[in-house]
Each structure stands twice: as C-alpha cells, then as structure tokens.
Amino acid sequence: MKYLLFFSISLLFIPATFAQTNKAKDLVSKMTLDEKVSLLVGMGMNIPGMNMGGAPVVGQTMDKVPGAAGTTFGIPRLGIPNTVVSDGPAGLRIEPIRKNDSSKTYYATAWPVATLLASTWNTNLVEQVGKAMGNEVKEYGVDVILGPALNIHRNPLGGRNFEYFSEDPLISGKMTAAMVNGIEANGVGTSIKHFAANNQETNRNTVNTIVSERALREIYLKGFQIAIKESQPWTVMSSYNYINGKYTSEDYDLLTTILRKEWGFKGLVMTDWFGGKDPVAQMKAGNDLLMPGTAAQKKTILDAVNNGTLNAKVTDENAERLVEYILGSPSYKKTVFTNKPDLKAHAAIARVAAIEGMVLLKNEASALPLGKSTKNIAVFGNTSYDFISGGTGSGDVNEAYTISLVQGLSNAGYHVDEEIKNMYNNFISSEKAKQPQKSFFESFMNPNPPLPEFTVDNSLLLKKSTESDIALITIGRNAGEGRDRKTENDFYLSDAEKALIKNVGDAFHAKNKKVVVVLNIGGVIETVSWKDNADAIVLVWQPGLEAGNAVADILIGKVNPSGKLASTFPLKYEDVPSAKSFPGKEFPEKTTTGNFGMKMNPAEVTYEDGIYVGYRYYNSFHVKPAFEFGYGLSYTDFKFSNLTLSSKTFDKKIRAAITITNTGKVAGKEVAQLYISAPTGKLDKPAEELKGFVKTGLLQPGQSENITFTINAEDLASFNTDVTAWVADAGTYAVKIGSSSANIKQTANFNLLKEVVVEKCNKVMVPQVTINELHQ
Ligand code: BGC
C-alpha cells in the first residue's frame, strides 16, 4: 500500500516533457517511413509573384494562417496537426488582409526593432514586450514565431543588424532570453536565429565564415548559449552560411555536440528557408526540420534510408523531437484563438518600450527637452514625414499604421509648420509615384532605394528661422534581408543630407535658435562630420508603430531618455575592426549564382578581428569612437558611490554592490554597467568586458537605489583553445562599474589565487586554415 501510494504520487510528478517524450516515441513508432520523412520536411511555401520553378515545394497549407512563413506536415490519423511558423522578430508577420475576407483585418504590432530593445538595457521591459508579442502569435493561431534573432553586430553595414541586438554577446543573450520567456509564457514557441555566425547578408547562402575557436565561443556562440540556459526556447534556426568549411545546418558538432550535448538544448532545430544543400547530412547533424520543405529533399531522405546510407534511428530521433514540439503546440492543444488581439493595449506597450530604448547622443546647452516657449516647429527631412517603424525583408511587420514624427508632435500639441509640411508631402508623393512598381518578391529582397532628400532653398530657411522657434531634422535609414548596407550615402550621410543639416543649422543658429537631429535608423552611421551643426541629437532607432508619439515624449521631456548604446558608433568606417575583412574575399572562379539568383561571392569571410568586436576592440586598442558602447545622456545626472565587494579573494562567487543616486532635477533611470578587466595570463584579454548590467527604477531627484551583482567563475573565464576549456586565469581582476564602457565611475579589485578550469569543452569546429588574428 505504502509503495503503491509512493508510486502513484511519483507518477503525478513526472515532468510534462518526460511524458511528452514517451508519447512522441510512441507516435513515431506508429508512423510509416513516408510519414516520418514527410514530417521532417516542411509543407513548402507559396511566394506570391515568384516562379518556384515547377513547384519544388511539397504542399500548400498556407491558408491556415495566410502570410505565415511555413507549416509542418500533419498526420490526421495519428492526431498530428499541421503547425504554423511565422516571422519574426520585430512582431508577427502575417498577411493583414485576407482574400475572401475583406470585412476583417489581421494587423500585428510592429514593435521597436531589436537594436532599440537592446538599448533599453531593461530585460524586464523586453520580457513584457515578449508577452504582448506572444499574445498576438497565440491570438492569430500561429505556433512559433521565427525570432528573436541574435547575430552579433560585427560590422555596421550588416543589412539585418536592426533585427539583432548588439555587438556584445551578454546583452544579446540576456535580451533573447527575456524575449523568449515573455513570448513562450503564452504557450507558443520561438525560434532563436540564425545559429550561428551569420553576420552579413552579402552571399549569406554560401559564404564560408572562417573563425577561430575562441572568437566563435566567446563572441558568436556565447549569446546563444546564454539564451538556451536562461530560456530553453522551443526551437533554434540554423543559419545559411558555412562555418569553417561546413554548412551550419549540416554540422553535427554545432547542432548536436555543442547545442545539445554541451548546452543541454532540448528542443527542435529547423533550417533557415532553403538553407544547406545535403538533406541527409542535415538529418545526421540533428537539423530536425527542413524549411520550408521541398519534394526533392523528401525524396533524398527517403532514398537514403531505403538504401542504408541514412540510419533510420536518426530519422526516428529527429521525428521524435518534432512530435514533442507538436505535442506542446497550440495547434495540437486546439487552443482557441480570437484573431483579435488587443492591438490598442499592445501599442501602448510598444510606445513605452520605444521611449526607453531611445538614446540621447548630444544635448548642448540643454537644447532638449523642448521648453514651454517652444510652439512652432520647423520640421525638415523626408523621413520626418515618412517615418520608418522597422526594417525590410522577413523582419518587416504588417502593422496598421506608423505615427510619423510630425503626427507625434501634433498629437503632443505642437504646431508643425504647414508650409514646410506641404512641400515635403508633395515632394514625397511625387517621388514615390516615379518609383518602379515591383512584385512582392522583387521588393522583398530589393526594395526601392530611398527617395532623394528634398532640397530646401535658402530663402525659405531664412523665413522659417524667423517664424519658428526651433528646427527638427530627421535622417532616415532602412535596410534588411538580402543585402548589406554601403558606406557611401548610407553609413556616411549623403551630400544632400549634410547640406540640409548645415544650411538649417546656419539659418537657425544665426537667429539664436536650436537645431535637433533625430536619427530614425536601424544600424550605426557616421556622426562626426555633421554633429557640430546640431545642438541635440536623438537616436530613436526604428521604434515600431507608435514611433512619432514616442519620439515626441522624449523631445518634450514627458519621459527622460534612458537608452544606452548596445553597439559602438565609430568615428569613421575604417576604424571598425572588421572593416578590412567584411564582407569577405572574392574568388573570380565563383561566377555562379545560388538560391534566388544570389551571387556566390565573396565566398569566404575570415574573422581576422577575432574576439576584438565592438568595444572590446576600441577599448583595448585605444581607438576613440564617436559614441562608445554603453553611452547615452539623460536630462538628469547620476552619482555612483560605495562600490563594495563581498571579498578581496574570489572563491566560487563575489558580490559587488553599488549605490546610484539621482543628483539632478528631474526623475530618470540609469544603467549600472559592470565590466571586468581580467589579468593577462596565457591569453590576451580585452581591456574591458561587460559581465552584468542593471537598469534602475525611475529615480526621483535625490533618490538612490542599491544594486547588487553576483560575479561567478564563468564571468572570469576566457576560452583557451590549447586546452579546449573555459579557464579563469589566476591574478588580479578589476571590477569597473560605470555609465558606459568609457565612463567608469567606480573600480575595485579582487584576486583569484589559482587558475580555475570552469568548463571543459569538445574540440570541434576547428578552422582548417591559419587565421591571421588580431592580437594586442
Ligand atoms: C530568413 C529568416 C526567416 C525565413 C522565413 C529567411 O529568408 O533568413 O530569418 O525567418 O526566411 O521567412
């Protein structure tokens, strides 16, 4: 009896996943080989306007949620439904208007892009965004959103940087975990992507990323490792590129040895769309699901199992992981969805998040916030009237509206100069009418170039500088999937943009009036050549659908800016540590084109910058940036005091405590950034590495907050290739807490008496060539 009781109680405590695993095994054992393999290959994709060359795709269930990126195969006889996956990552990407259903709309919230969310340095807020985003996933009947995305901002020209968080793996990992936890709290899944080292769009499909084991582990894998540990996402998406000679989707060492065995990932791996080339190698690597799925892939896998070159055990295991995912999905659970998420409530959250990630880069003589006497605003720059909520490509969300800067200012009760407004609006509509009409697919991968900047003549500027109280100028940038940005007229401002800032600056400064520049951009640009003409610069990134309202909140001081850069703004492009090796080496013999007609050159990119990405480089090599990592101004001031360490000697962990006080006149939030300088032992170490960050609550003038950080052994460790392990060297470590990577307010030291091997790893993904890596 006693035993029976014990047995039945323990049954109650069997974790859901364990029961699910057994059920998955059982279901797979009941499948025919054809069913199993069908499950491992997605149901295909219908790209409007694109000739799929004789329908290489398996099937079409795109009607389940129109505009979704793909679906998995269903086996009704076993109760296995089709599940739906949809982009991601700045919100749910689905068709807003459905054929034969014109009475309803299916808009989703365009959230602030990841680069902005990272600039909040506020993981709680990002989790809230995730909760609301995940609610839309659920309410629109989608099972998995294809995001968040966390590739590293290796180079400012990366076309998809707006979808990614930061140049730093800790921020990328923490933000991803927060977002995943928020989204998945709704009972829907995420797919963290693109795993891994997919840091450029130029020839993303066949480029071979050559990278050292140390840089791979410390920079390009670290964020994924943190995200797996802290959020265990339902799925991971492998990337398109090769790493050290192997397609990531075909690399057992990456997807099984590292991801599953070392890090303990329990979920499903899917390919990026049409990624990789050998379905059998993908199966063997542990890439369970091939998306969106083609008939040819299915046949190749079936043939391989039938002729014995692919062990049926492999396909069984992959299918079990797929079924396990399906058993947890809303489609399987028949979760009721309304198709009516509360978009209004979500817009309010999007506005709060957008405000918190905006970065005040410059504020000379308190040009901002706009004073009470400011009534009439002269607003310049095409983008002020045609604001950019997010980037292009699969990361583009179909939102119902975007509030422009001028709308936001009007909503806040300001008078926007009508004459200038009409000129811009007329110019923009006539220029847009001249642009070529492109098909869905053409504009997806190759959107029309930005409109030429409208030229404002000097007599108008003279008049307006008299009539208006202040001038605002917006500089806009957009980019996305399929191509990287350029230096000319993109990283660097165009001549017309520079002339606009200069002429407006001259005219308004002559009348003793201020000029504010708003940067509505998704990636880093050059600022030094023009910043002297502006009294204030506000980096608003691509802030989602509530854009203009959020910018107005910052400009008028309704909310005090508290965003901090999560990627460095260099003085010039040549200063970027990867400038020489990005986007890679061209091989004249590679003349063919790959998927979707993409060029197969440059065929190789060697990460010669090694671990010196972003501030790790600028700080270690004393290269002064325009705005450093972690930088951002406020309308108030903060004092950092009383840094104390729990011990002078490290033993398993150390706590660091600090007090932050608002010493200014208005309420505000500050970020405590904890950097560690490690002793140079066997390896060279970056001057500083971020190991923790905490955003304060809203501190009233005079109010303080005490913050505590815990530093663990793994925070001290570097990846030592010789012993294939994370090792913390013995010596003196400096804990530096500051408001940016260059503005350290307090420092304290501790010692590690003996070297610690924190984690032993597998010797895998070794480059086959010598890399001429940057060293100090
Ligand atoms: C992108 C992925 C995206 C997928 C599905 C690919 O082209 O690289 O990020 O999730 O398409 O749309």
Ligand 1 atom showing the smallest separation from residue 87 Cα? 10
680: pLDDT confidence band, cut at 50, 70 and 90? Answer: confident
Q: Cα separation of 562 and 570, whole Å?
A: 21
| Closest to 273 measured CA to CA, from 330, 197, 193, 209 | 193
**For residue range 646-655, what is the model confidence (pLDDT) as tens digits?**
999 999 999 9
| Mean pLDDT for all residues in the chain | 94
Residue partners of 88: CB distance under 8 A and separation at least 6: 69, 145, 146, 147, 148, 149, 191, 193, 394, 395
- Tell me which DSSP letter residue 572 carries: S
Q: Which of 394, 398, 445 to mutate to test the pocket of ligand 1 (most atoms within 8 A of CB)?
A: 394
Ligand 1 atom showing the smallest separation from residue 147 Cα? 10
| pLDDT(50) > 80 | no
Mean pLDDT value of segment 625-650: 98
Q: What is the pLDDT of residue 55?
A: 40
Q: Cα separation of 671 and 632, whole Å?
A: 10
| Closest to 569 measured CA to CA, from 518, 517, 626, 514 | 626
Q: Cα separation of 63 and 79, whole Å?
A: 20
CB atoms within 10 A of CB 689: 24
Q: Cα separation of 688 and 747, whole Å?
A: 12
Mean pLDDT value of segment 288-296: 94
Ligand 1 atom showing the smallest separation from residue 240 Cα? 8
Q: What is the pLDDT of residue 586?
A: 86
Q: What is the pLDDT of residue 587?
A: 84
3-state SS, one letter per residue, for 552-573? HHHHCCCCCCCCCCCCCECCCH
**For residue range 726-751, what is the model confidence (pLDDT) as tens digits?**
999 999 999 999 999 999 999 999 99
Per DSSP, the chain holds a count of helices (H) and strands (E) of: 22, 26
**Could you tell me the distance, in angstroms and rounded to a whole number, from the CA of residue 273 to the centre of ligand 1?**
6
Q: Which range among 276-285, 438-447, 449-458, 694-703 shows the weakest confidence by mean pLDDT?
A: 438-447
Mean pLDDT value of segment 43-69: 63
596: pLDDT confidence band, cut at 50, 70 and 90? Answer: low
Q: What is the pLDDT of residue 20?
A: 82
Atom 11 in ligand 1: residue holding the nearest Cα: 273
Q: Which range among 5-9, 149-153, 281-285, 535-539 shows the weakest confidence by mean pLDDT?
A: 5-9
Catalytic residue, chosen from 168, 272, 469, 729, is 272
Q: Which amino acid is at 580?
A: K
For residue 515, what are the CA distances in angstroms to 93, 242, 359, 465, 472? 37, 47, 17, 10, 6
**Which two structure tokens, joined as six digits, stand for 203?**
């020839």
**Could you tell me the distance, in angstroms and rounded to a whole number, from the CA of residue 394 to the centre of ligand 1?**
6
**Phi and psi angles of residue 571, each rounded to the nearest 5 degrees, phi first:** -70, -45
**Could you tell me the distance, in angstroms and rounded to a whole number, from the CA of residue 590 to the centre of ligand 1?**
25
Q: Which range among 69-73, 142-146, 649-653, 690-694 shows the weakest confidence by mean pLDDT?
A: 69-73
| pLDDT(18) > 90 | no
Q: Which of 65, 190, 481, 598 to mutate to test the pocket of ligand 1 (most atoms within 8 A of CB)?
A: 481
**Which two structure tokens, joined as six digits, stand for 675?**
């950097």
**Could you tell me the distance, in angstroms and rounded to a whole number, from the CA of residue 482 to the centre of ligand 1?**
10
Q: Which amino acid is at 434?
A: K
| pLDDT(13) > 90 | no
Ligand 1 atom showing the smallest separation from residue 191 Cα? 10
592: pLDDT confidence band, cut at 50, 70 and 90? Answer: low
Give one word for 293, left, alpha or beta, with left for phi > 0 and alpha for psi -120 to 50. left
372: pLDDT confidence band, cut at 50, 70 and 90? Answer: confident
Give Cα 248 distance to the centre of its chain. Answer: 19
2: pLDDT confidence band, cut at 50, 70 and 90? Answer: very low
Q: What is the pLDDT of residue 768?
A: 96
Extended strands (E) in 258-346: 268-270
Mean pLDDT value of segment 274-284: 96
| Closest to 520 measured CA to CA, from 632, 350, 403, 423 | 403
Q: What angle do CA 707, 710, 712 make, to 5 degrees?
A: 160
Q: Which amino acid is at 299?
A: K
Percent of the chain with pLDDT strictly greater than 70:
94
Cβ atoms of 586 and 593 closer than 8 Å:
no
**For residue range 412-456, what is the model confidence (pLDDT) as tens digits?**
999 999 999 999 999 999 999 999 888 777 777 778 889 999 999
Query: Which residues line ligand 1 at a C-beta cut-off of 6 Å?
Result: 69, 87-88, 146, 193, 272-273, 394, 481
Q: What is the pLDDT of residue 86?
A: 95
**For residue range 92-145, what is the model confidence (pLDDT) as tens digits?**
999 999 888 879 999 999 999 999 999 999 999 999 999 999 999 999 999 999
Q: Cα separation of 518 and 276, whole Å?
A: 41
The H-assigned helical ranges of 52-139 are 114-120, 123-139
- Tell me which DSSP letter residue 456 carries: P
DSSP string, 488-540: IIIISPPHHHHHHHHHHHHHHHHTT-EEEEEEE-SS----TTTGGG-SEEEE-
Q: What is the pLDDT of residue 650?
A: 98
Q: Which of 272, 396, 595 to mutate to test the pocket of ligand 1 (most atoms within 8 A of CB)?
A: 272
Extended strands (E) in 646-699: 653-662, 671-677, 689-695
**Could you tell me the distance, in angstroms and rounded to a whole number, from the CA of residue 683 to the centre of ligand 1?**
38
Q: What is the largest CA-CA distance in the chain?
A: 97
The H-assigned helical ranges of 685-759 are none
| pLDDT(3) > 50 | no
CA atoms within 13 A on the CB side of 449: 6
Q: Which of 71, 87, 95, 200 to mutate to test the pocket of ligand 1 (most atoms within 8 A of CB)?
A: 87
Q: Cα separation of 523 and 152, whole Å?
A: 12
Q: What is the pLDDT of residue 588?
A: 78
Mean pLDDT value of segment 399-415: 96
| pLDDT(503) > 90 | yes
Atom 6 in ligand 1: residue holding the nearest Cα: 273
**For residue range 512-540, what is the model confidence (pLDDT) as tens digits?**
999 999 999 999 999 999 999 999 999 99
The H-assigned helical ranges of 329-412 are 330-333, 343-356, 382-385, 405-411
| Closest to 65 measured CA to CA, from 83, 38, 44 | 83
Active site residue 272: yes
Residue partners of 761: CB distance under 8 A and separation at least 6: 217, 258, 262, 719, 724, 725, 726
**For residue range 167-213, what is the model confidence (pLDDT) as tens digits?**
999 999 999 999 999 999 999 999 999 999 999 999 999 999 999 99
Cβ atoms of 290 and 282 closer than 8 Å:
yes
Ligand 1 atom showing the smallest separation from residue 93 Cα? 12
- Tell me which DSSP letter residue 740 carries: S
Q: What is the pLDDT of residue 9?
A: 42
Cβ atoms of 83 and 331 closer than 8 Å:
yes
Q: What is the pLDDT of residue 443?
A: 77
Q: Cα separation of 141 and 454, whole Å?
A: 43
Atom 4 in ligand 1: residue holding the nearest Cα: 273
Atom 7 in ligand 1: residue holding the nearest Cα: 273
Q: What is the pLDDT of residue 602?
A: 87
Give one word for 339, left, alpha or beta, with left for phi > 0 and alpha for psi -120 to 50. left
| pLDDT(58) > 60 | no
Cβ atoms of 445 and 393 closer than 8 Å:
yes
Cα dihedral 426, 428, 433, 439 sign: negative
| Closest to 190 measured CA to CA, from 241, 133, 258 | 133
Mean pLDDT value of segment 677-705: 96
Q: What is the pLDDT of residue 120?
A: 99
**Could you tell me the distance, in angstroms and rounded to a whole number, from the CA of residue 272 to the centre of ligand 1?**
6
21 vs 142 pLDDT, higher one: 142
Q: What is the pLDDT of residue 353?
A: 98
| Closest to 649 measured CA to CA, from 711, 707, 693 | 711
**Could you tell me the distance, in angstroms and rounded to a whole number, from the CA of residue 628 to the centre of ligand 1?**
31
Atom 8 in ligand 1: residue holding the nearest Cα: 272
Ligand 1 atom showing the smallest separation from residue 163 Cα? 9
Q: Which amino acid is at 288?
A: D
**Could you tell me the distance, in angstroms and rounded to a whole number, from the CA of residue 393 to the centre of ligand 1?**
8
Q: Quick check: helix, strand or coil at residue 82? A: coil
Q: Cα separation of 196 and 221, whole Å?
A: 7
82 vs 46 pLDDT, higher one: 82
Q: Are strands 376-380 and 415-416 parallel, antiparallel or unpaired?
A: parallel
59: pLDDT confidence band, cut at 50, 70 and 90? Answer: very low
Ligand 1 atom showing the smallest separation from residue 193 Cα? 9
CB atoms within 10 A of CB 192: 28
Q: Quick check: helix, strand or coil at residue 759? A: strand
